[in-house]
Amino acid sequence: MSINPSEITPEHIFLQRRKFMKQLGLGLGGLGYLTYASNAAAQLIKLPAIIESKEKSSEKISAYEDIISYNNYYEFGTGKSDPAKYAQQLNTQGWQIKIEGEVKQTITLDMDDILKLAPLEERIYRLRCVEGWSMVIPWAGIPLSSLLKKAGLTSNAKFVQFTSLHRPSEMLGQNSNVLDWPYTEGLRIDEAMHPLTLLGLGIYGKPLTNQNGAPVRLVVPWKYGFKSIKAIVNIKLTEKMPISTWMQANGREYGFYANVNPEVDHPRWSQATERRLGDGLFSKRRKTEMFNGYADQVASLYQGMDLRKYY
């Protein structure tokens, strides 16, 4: 099977990125210092004690350096290395999330409020990109359900719409028309309330870096990565299914559900196999697992549905 060009970082770009990091004198620890030093002015949240994951992953954890330097985050550019280069100018001080719509009370929470909702847990989740890449990340977060319960749901709450920050002065990619800003995503209410659905606040025991969605993002491990929206500022409960950014941009390629499914190809390439970030360009590809390996936990949500139609 041939490898689609969109799945591969050209070697010269890969080497340039490594050279760029080395010129800055940054190893793994150095990258962390760069991120947190540049965010110091923004007074990032400090994570409380994290409850260690009870379920130990048998898979190798992806390298921290790869996770913070190879990102899809069009708000900072379409290149995989753009977010690491340009996201540091984002000021996350005073961050708030508004929860509204089909709720018993409209509320606005700051990061301290959110951290008080539930104990911070470590979750070692796979993440699978629609382009064919996968990774294994130790996340830190709280169940999304704890946030939604805080506002209270009405009987009309069938879906959840998420909206990212819109600040073109700092998120320079928003000055382009590559997507219709601000970025939005959506889940069905039972997906949002599922125990696996995480409101992500950290990675590798540290606060999220800007390029990974700081200070708060969604993590839905059985769906393709674009569903895990970053830099959330608004959550709206709705009766009707929301139209997400990628659905609006190209609904034929990016459906509402976006469940990882090796039997449903992207119109331009197969989804039957994947490449694990860090394995190398010429390593053997892995078979993609149904629901990204979480079928036992989530398959019942879609019982009786035609997953080719509702992709």
**Which domains, from first to last, does the chain contain?**
5-302 (3.90.420.10)
* C-alpha to C-alpha distance for 182 and 89, rounded to whole angstroms: 18
Q: What are phi and psi of 47, to 5 degrees?
A: -75, 135
Q: In a 3-state reduction of DSSP, which class is residue 199?
A: strand
Of 12-21, 103-112, 218-227, 260-269, least confident by mean pLDDT is 12-21
Binned at pLDDT 50, 70 and 90, residue 101 comes out as very high
Sorting pLDDT into bands at 50, 70 and 90, what band is 293?
very high
Contact yes or no for 233/97 (Cβ under 8 A): yes
263: exposed, middle or buried (Cβ count in 10 Å: 0-12, 13-18, 19+): exposed
Cα separation, 46 vs 240, whole angstroms: 37
∠ CA(140), CA(142), CA(143), 5° rounding?
A: 130
Total residue count of the chain as it appears in this document: 311
3-state secondary structure of 206: strand
- The CA distance from 305 to 198, in Å, is 24
Adjacent-strand bridge partners of 275:
133
CB 161 within 8 Å of CB 184? yes
What's the pLDDT tens digit per position in 226-266? 999 999 999 999 999 999 999 999 999 999 999 999 999 99
pTM, full prediction: 0.85
Cα distance between residue 93 and residue 73, in whole Å: 20
Q: Is the pLDDT of residue 28 over 70?
A: no
For residue 44, the model assigns a pLDDT of 58
